[in-house]
Structure 1
Amino acid sequence: MNTDTLTLNKTSWDAAAERFFGRTSLPEFGPHAPREDELHLFGDVTSCKVLELGCGSGHSLLYMDQQGAGELWGVDLSPKQLEAAAKVLASSSSSVTLIESPMEQDPGLPHNYYDIVYSIFALGWTTNLQQTFTNVHTYLKQGGLFIFSWEHPLYNRARLSDDQLVIHKSYHEEGPYDHEAWQLPAIMQQVKLSTYLNALIHQGFKIDYVIEDVRLPEDPLEWQANRWYSYDKAKLLPTTLIIKCQKI
C-alpha cells in the first residue's frame, strides 16, 4: 500500500468532492455503458447486506436502499465524500455504516458477512489490486457477489485523430499514472483486462460476466461537453469495463 499516493489521492478527492456529487452512480456503471436496469447484474437485493468500495457521495448506496437492501455499508478514502454520503443517506430506511478507509486496507469490516460487495467506477484508485480483491473475498459470504466497473483499460491508451484511433501508450504498460483528464494531482492505476481476470481467478472468484458494451445516446449533443468520454471516441472503443463474479 503506497501511503504517499493515498495521501495525495485523499487530498485530491476532498477538493473534488463537490464537483463529483452524484456522478457515475447506480443504476449507471460508467459513461456510455449499459445500466443496471438493463443488465440486472445485482438481481433481487431485498434484505441483502451490501458493501460499496469507493462509495463517494452515497448515491449508489441510496439506489440500493431504494431496491430494498437490508444493510448499507460504504468505504471511501475521502472524509468530504463521506460527509456528503451521510447527508444523502440520512433518511434511508436501511441500516447505514460509513467508514473512512482506502479499499486496499481492511478497516475492521466483518468477514464472511456480505451478500454483495461492489464498486462503481472507483476500483482504479486502489494502489494494490490483489490486496483489494483479497479483502473483498474475505468480506463476502460463500456464493456472495462482487461487481465492479472502471474505465476500460484500452480507453486511455488511444486518442482520436481525424476519426481514427491512434495508440499513444503501450497497452502492456501497467502501474500508476497521472490521469490527464483529472484536474488535480492524483494517481490512478493502469491494469490490463487479463490482469483483472487472472487476479480474480487467483483469489478464488468465479467470473460470471465481463461486459464491454457501449450504449450511445441517440443525440450526440448530450455528450458533446464531455471531452474525455467523447461520443466519437466511444463509437470506436469501449469506455467502461464491468465484471461480475462470485466467491466460490
Structure 2
Amino acid sequence: MNKTDISNTHHTNKIYWDENGNDFLGAIVLPYYGCNTLTENELNLFGDVAGKKLLDIGCGNGESLKYHGNNKAAELWGLDISKNQIEKAAKCLSESGYAAKLICGAMEDECGLPIDYFDYIYSIYAIGWTTDLQGTFNKVASYLKKGGMFIFSWSHHIHMCVAFEDGKAFFKNSYFDETWSERELDGKNILLCSRRISTYVNALAKAGFVIEQLIEQTNDETLQLTGELNDLKKKSQMVPLTAVFKARKL
C-alpha cells in the first residue's frame, strides 16, 4: 500500500470513528473480546494486572482501560486514530477516577510511546485496521518489556469469507484474498482488508513473539450483545467469528 492509499484509508476510517465511535458495539470492550467469543472472565488471558503498565491500541471510548483500572493496573495508556474517541476515553476514565495517558495517532506511526516499557499491550477489535501489520507488530514489540504480553482480537478471516443463507453456508470469496475493499459498517463506508490467520502468526513470529494461545471458541451469550442472533448464531455453529491471540515477547 503506497502513501496515498494509506492516507486515504486513514482519512476514510477516521471519519467513521469520529462520527460513529464504538459505543454501539457492546461486545468489543473488555471483558468481551468480540462477537461470539469467550470473555476475559472465562479466558483469564491477562491474569493479575495489579501494578502493571498497560497500553490499549485502538482504545476507543476507554471502557477497556477502565476495566483494567478497576483491576488496579498501575498505568493506563491509550492510542487511537480518532480525536473524538480519545476525548470520550478521557471523559470515561476521568469520571471513573483514573488518570490515563492518551495519544491521538495511527498505530503504524511513531507516536512517542516509550520503548521496553509496558507489561501488556492489547487491542480489542482494532488491530485489523492497520495498514501495515508487520510494522505495527514490530512497534508493539519495541514498546513491550522482555517477556511482556501482547493480546489482541479481530474478526476471524474465515468468518469474512463465508456467508450463511437458508440454512446453508457457502464461500463468498477466497480465503487467500487479502485485498483492501470498501465496506459498510453502521451505515457508513470504511476501508478494510481481511488477513489469513497465517499472516498474523508469521508477522508475530517475525516481530519476535511466541504465541501462547489462539482462541476460536464461541459463546452465545456474547453474541447476544450484537443484537443479530439469527443468522450469526447459526453461522457461529459452523465457523469461528472471532480470533483472539495471546503472544509473549521473547
Q: TM-score per shorter chain, which class? A: over 0.9
1:148 partner SS: strand
Q: Is residue 213 from structure 1 mapped to residue 223 from structure 2 by the alignment?
A: no
2:32 is equivalent to residue 28 of structure 1: yes
User: After the TM superposition, which of the residue ranges 76-85 and 177-186 deviates more from structure 2?
Assistant: 177-186
> Residues 195, 246 of structure 1: CA spacing in aligned structure 2 closer, same or farther, 3 A cutoff?
same
Give the counterpart of 2:206 among 187, 193, 202.
Answer: 202
Of 60, 75, 78, the match for 2:79: 75
SS class of match (1:31): coil
Structure 1 stretch 17-26 or stretch 107-116: which is displaced more? Answer: 17-26
Describe how 1:122-141 pairs up with structure 2 within 5 A. Answer: 122-141=126-145
Which runs of 5 or more residues in structure 2 are unaligned?
none
In the superposition, the TM-score normalised over structure 1's length comes to: 0.93
Partner of 1:145: 149
After superposition, what is the alpha-carbon deviation per residue over 1:134-173, rounded to whole angstroms, capped at 9, x for unaligned? 1100000000000000000111111102211110100001
Q: For residues 185 and 230 of structure 2, what CA distance do their matches in structure 1 show?
A: 7
Gap runs ≥5 in structure 1: none
Q: Secondary structure at the match of 2:190?
A: coil
Instruction: Name the CA distance, whole Å, in 2 between partners of 1:243 and 1:3.
Output: 28
Q: Output the CA distance in 1 between the equivalents of 2:193 and 2:230.
A: 17
Structure-to-structure mapping, 1:88-103, within 5 angstroms: 88-103=92-107
1:230 to 2:245 alignment: no
Q: After superposing the two structures, state which structure 1 stretch, 225-234 or 156-165, moved more.
A: 225-234
> Aligned-pair distance for 1:235?
1.5
User: Structure 1 pair 229/38, CA: closer, same or farther in 2 (3 Å)?
Assistant: farther
Q: Percent identity?
A: 39
- Relative to structure 1, the CA distance from residue 200 to residue 48 in structure 2 (aligned partners, 3 Å threshold; closer, same or farther) is same
SS in 2 for 1:89: helix
Q: Give the match's secondary structure for 1:103.
A: coil
The alignment partner of 1:197 has SS state of helix
Aligned-pair distance for 1:211? 0.6
Residues 71 and 94, structure 1, Cα contact 8 Å, conserved in 2: no
Residues 224, 231 of structure 1: 8 Å contact kept: no
Determine which of 20, 42, 46 is the counterpart of 2:46.
42
Name the stretch that deviates more: 93-102 or 148-157: 93-102
* Counterparts in 2 of 1:25 and 1:241: CA distance versus 1, 3 Å: same
Matched, 1:59 2:66: no
**Offset, 1:175:** 2.8
Alpha-carbon distance, 1:91 to partner: 3.7
Number of matched pairs: 246
The one of 85, 101, 110 equivalent to 1:106 is: 110
State the SS of the aligned residue for 1:217.
Answer: helix
- TM-score, scaled to structure 2: 0.92
Instruction: Give the structure with the larger helix fraction.
Output: 2
Which segment drifts farther, 9-18 or 49-58? 9-18
Instruction: Find the partner of 1:239 among 238, 241, 245.
Output: 241
Change (3 A) 1:197 1:229: farther
Distance 2:225 2:23 in 1: 17
